[in-house]
Amino acid sequence: MTELLKVHGSQNCFFILDQTKLQRELTDDELVALAQQITSKEHGLLGGADGVLVVNRPVREGATAQMRVINADGSEASMCGNGLRTVARYVAERDNLEDFKVDTMDASLRVRKQPDLASGVPAFAVEISPVRFNKEALPYDHLGHDRLLNTLVPELLPGYRFSGIAVPNPHLISFVDENGFKELGPLGEWLNGENPYFSDGVNVNFGHILGPNKIFVKTYERGVGFTNACGTGMSATSLAFALIHPELASFGKPITVFNPGGMVRTILHHENHRYWIELIGNATFTHRIAVSEESLHSATITDQNSKVVPTGEQENYLKFINNLDKPEF
Ligand SMILES: N[C@@H](CCC[C@H](N)C(=O)O)C(=O)O
């Protein structure tokens, strides 16, 4: 037997699979099948999830572990900010560490334990980088702009201004008023299906400015659909906020980012001509699930052949967000 963990950051939910604990690692095809099976909202485990976070041995010098991100549809993402916080906590507790590096597809990223957000709500800070703006990094084509920064793009949505930022997974960002959110679903669905512009799909984030250093962000995720929160999306949207509205957003100071599932803080940095972002938020473990290695390989995990033990942490998390003055859109 081995263990899966059900976890979340701002209720962006995942299963963590630590392959270093297995006798035989899953092949890539097996990982895709497992992700599609257990994350399904209708037939998956514990109501499904947005993806699977695979913990492997490190691949670069100086890192403690590697995280791979398999989206619910089986596609692989280069990064996941909310997921990295939960993997950071998992590896910190496994190896008794507080400050270390985790390999992701494009970079080794620093992760650090933080003071709890509230009683029983553990928190981690993770580095979000590299940051790129060029159209090849997203990628997009046929839009007539090499970069998008608060740019009117009528081909996407008339009257809406867009920014394109890869961190390094791709994000399209628009700041909207209360009524603008209704366009998020149709736009996200279109750009993540057959479309002439984003051949690999794109995470679409709508931000709403609440005040100085305070925003709300809702995301339609590539490979997932609507999500409660997207960590890299909130990081990219914070950077767009500061670049478009320098009078309202600061570098080097926390920006509060509310989302449908909770709240995080981001801190923007610009050093040696490069941007990077710190993402700080909860890393909550909701269930421990005992499964056989065979059911992982064959993607046949059911409530009958697994043993689920709730951790009790979700109650603490819900108490924490119920005490926030969190807006909804
Ligand atoms: N929810 C994540 C991002 C997950 C990856 C995304 N679906 C993609 O394909 O880029 C986050 O918290 O950053």
pLDDT of 127 > 90? The answer is yes
- What is the distance between the alpha carbons of residues 102 and 190, in angstroms, rounded to a whole number? 33
The total number of structural domains that make up the chain: 2
Which listed residue (34, 38, 52, 80) is catalytic?
80
Task: Please identify which of the residues 55, 230, 249, 255 carries the catalytic annotation.
Answer: 230
Q: What is the mean pLDDT of residues 288-309?
A: 95
Using a 6 Å CB cutoff, which residues line ligand 1?
12, 50, 69, 71, 77, 80-83, 169, 203, 221-224, 227, 230-232
Q: Is 221 marked as a binding-site residue?
A: yes
% pLDDT > 70, the chain: 100
Yes or no: say if 173 and 165 are a contact pair by the CB < 8 Å rule. Answer: yes
Buried b (16+ CB within 10 A) or exposed e, 2-18: bebbbbbbbbbbbbbbb
pLDDT band at 41 (very low <50, low <70, confident <90, very high): very high
Cβ contact 169:232 at 8 Å: yes
Instruction: Determine if residue 9 is labeled as part of a ligand binding site.
Output: no
318 Cα–ligand 1 center, Å: 23
| Protein residue with least CA distance to atom 2, ligand 1 | 80
**Closest protein CA for atom 1 of ligand 1:** 230
Residue 165 confidence (pLDDT):
98
- 124, 85 contact by CB (below 8 A): yes
Please give the backbone phi and psi of residue 255, each rounded to the nearest 5 degrees, phi first: -110, 130
Tell me, yes or no, if 80 is annotated catalytic.
Answer: yes
Q: Is residue 249 part of a domain?
A: yes
- Return the C-alpha torsion angle 38, 203, 235, 260, nearest 10: -60
Task: Say whether both 61 and 161 belong to one domain.
Answer: no
328 within domain boundaries: no
CA of 304 to the centre of ligand 1 (A): 30
Structure confidence at residue 302 as a pLDDT band (50, 70, 90): confident
Band (pLDDT 50/70/90 cuts) for residue 303 is confident
pLDDT score of 195 more than 90: yes
**Do 49 and 33 share a structural domain?**
yes
Ligand 1 atom nearest to CA at 83: 12
Q: Determine the average pLDDT of the residues in 59-85.
A: 98
Write down the pLDDT at residue 29.
98
pLDDT of residue 229: 98
Separation between Cα atoms, residue 31 and residue 25, nearest integer Å: 9
Read off the pTM: 0.98
Mean predicted confidence (pLDDT) in 300-323: 95
Whole-number Å distance, alpha carbon 27 to ligand 1 midpoint, is 22
- Residue 81 sits in a domain of what CATH number? 3.10.310.10
Return the ligand 1 atom nearest residue 50 CA.
1
pLDDT, the chain, mean: 98
Q: Are residues 110 and 177 in the same domain?
A: no
Residue 327 within a domain: no
Task: Tell me what the mean pLDDT of segment 37-66 comes to.
Answer: 97
24: Cβ–Cβ under 8 A, 6 or more apart, which residues? 293, 297
If asked whether residues 49 and 115 sit together in one domain, one would say yes
Minimal CA–CA distance to 127: which of 316, 3, 271, 244? 271
Question: Is residue 48 domain-shared with residue 22, that is, in the same domain?
Answer: yes
Question: Looking at this protein, which amino acid is placed at residue 93?
Answer: E
- Has residue 299 been placed in a domain? yes
Residue 12 Cα: closest atom of ligand 1: 1
pLDDT at residue 279 in the model: 99
Per-residue confidence (pLDDT) for residue 304, from 0 to 100: 85
Report the share of the chain in percent with pLDDT over 90.
Answer: 98
Q: Record the tokens describing residue 260, joined without a space.
A: 């449908």
**Shared domain check, 159 and 73:** no
Task: Locate the ligand 1 atom nearest the alpha carbon of residue 170 and give its number.
Answer: 10
Answer yes or no: is 78 within a domain. yes
Task: Indicate whether 207 pLDDT > 90.
Answer: yes
Q: Which range marks the domain in which residue 185 is found?
A: 135-273
State whether 178 and 306 are in the same domain: no
Which residue's CA is the nearest one to ligand 1's atom 4? 80
